[in-house]
Structure formats: C-alpha cells, structure tokens
Amino acid sequence: MKRKFESDMSKSATSKKGHWSAGLLTSMEDPECMVKEDDKIVVIKDKYPKAQFHYLVLPKENILSIRQVKKNHQDLLMHMHEVARGLVEKHTDHEFIMGYHAMPSMQRLHLHVISTDFCSPCLKTKYHWNSFTTPFFLHSSDVSRQLHEEGEVKNISPQKCKDYLNTQLKCHKCTLQPKNMPALKRHILTHIDKQKQ
C-alpha cells in the first residue's frame, strides 16, 4: 500500500520543516490557496482536489490530527463545521460531505469539505475513493456528536483503516461494484449527467 499512515510518521519527520506532511501548513499561509480566514481557522483549497469542489478547514491551534482531538476542542470543531456549512451553502447546485480521514497523512487537523461529484483528474486510486466513501471518512456531525456524548472521538485501529481503504470499489450512489477505477470514473459521470437532466 502506497498511502503513508500517520503511524509511519516518525517524530523527526513531523518536526522537519519542508517535509511533505507539513504541506498544509505552508498552504495555510499562501494567499493563493486561502479561501477564508477568521481568528480560529483558515480555509484553503485542496491542492489535489478529488472533486469539483474540495476545501480544507484547518484550525490555527496546532492540533496534529483528529486522533489528538479532545473534549475541550468541541467548540472549535463545531465552529469548523459551521464554516464548512457556510462554504457548502454557496454551492446550491452541488451535494457535499464534510468530515475527517480516520488516519490522515498530512499534519494539522483538517476538515474535508468535498462535493460528491468526485469528478477530478486527481481522484486516481482505490484509496482515494475509499477514503471518502467508507467509514474511513468520519462525518463531521458524527465526530461532534461523539465528542459531546462520549467525550472523545472513537479511535479506529490502523488495521481497520487499511481494511476500509482496501474495500472493493462501490459506487456511492447505487449498488454497482465497478471492477477498477477507470470503470468507476466512467460510471459516476452517468450520475452527474442524470442530475443535470
């Protein structure tokens, strides 16, 4: 599996400036990438968007990932969710999902806000697809509910994450199980065409 897991990130890697996993920190400060900012968060455009619209909402507070989120971050996560909703409202003709990857590869907590057309040349692999369409994707509302009710975000084991990412391809809109990514990408276009009609 090519995907780099957070557990593979050594302490030295996370502290190395310019390391690939710190790319979001650089983008947060780049006016070209920034979409919105307030005293708590920055919104950037995903550099390798996996759909027509793909944003990342990042806190200014240095939280490494969803795995470090604690009950005291509840208000911050609610705020990130509200900011995400504000972005979605601007695109009335698109459906969106908002959530966190259970085992992210990039540093700094980031909330994915992504349109469900999944129409993008950057969406290439089974892992890309499964990272948004299986329980590997932790929906923001579920995360907030867990924090509120249980005081923590449920931890998904690295093995379970790998299993989700390796799940057989399945369309997110119907029961079709395409045999490979090119077939899936051809198929999801038919859903977009139907929506336009």
- Verify whether residue 187 is a known catalytic residue: no
Q: Are 169 and 184 in contact (CB under 8 A)?
A: yes
Q: Are 38 and 108 in contact (CB under 8 A)?
A: no
Nearest residue (CB) to Zn ion, 21 versus 120: 120
Applying CB under 6 A, what is the total number of residues that bind ligand AMP? 11
User: Under the criterion CB under 6 A, does residue 134 sit at the interface with ligand AMP?
Assistant: no
Please select the residue that binds ligand AMP; options are 37, 38, 48, 190, rule is CB under 6 A: 48
User: Under the criterion CB under 6 A, does residue 46 sit at the interface with ligand AMP?
Assistant: yes
**For tokens 């990857």, what's the residue?**
101
User: Under the criterion CB under 5 A, does residue 185 sit at the interface with Zn ion?
Assistant: no
Could you tell me the smallest distance in angstroms from the CB atom of residue 132 to Zn ion? 15
Nearest residue (CB) to ligand AMP, 101 versus 191: 101
Please select the residue that binds Zn ion; options are 13, 22, 87, 176, rule is CB under 5 A: 176
Nearest residue (CB) to Zn ion, 1 versus 174: 174
User: Under the criterion CB under 5 A, does residue 169 sit at the interface with Zn ion?
Assistant: no
Nearest Cα residue to 124 out of 178, 182, 68, 192: 182
Q: Are 156 and 102 in contact (CB under 8 A)?
A: yes
SS3 for 193? helix
CB under 8 Å, gap of 24 or more: what pairs does 66-69 form?
A: 66/100, 66/101, 66/102, 66/104, 66/109, 66/138, 66/143, 66/153, 67/6, 67/103, 67/153, 67/155, 68/109, 69/109, 69/143, 69/147, 69/153
Could you say which of Zn ion, ligand AMP, none residue 105 binds, taking C-beta under 5 to 8 angstroms by partner kind? ligand AMP
Residues in 55-114 that interact with ligand AMP by CB under 6 A = 101, 104-106
What is the CA angle 96-97-102, rounded to 5? 155
User: Under the criterion CB under 6 A, does residue 44 sit at the interface with ligand AMP?
Assistant: yes
Please select the residue that binds Zn ion; options are 4, 170, 173, 185, rule is CB under 5 A: 173
Could you tell me the smallest distance in angstroms from the CB atom of residue 194 to ligand AMP? 27
Nearest Cα residue to 59 out of 108, 8, 95, 117: 108
Q: Which residues are catalytic?
A: 110
Interface residues toward ligand AMP, by CB under 6 A: 23-24, 27, 44, 46-48, 101, 104-106
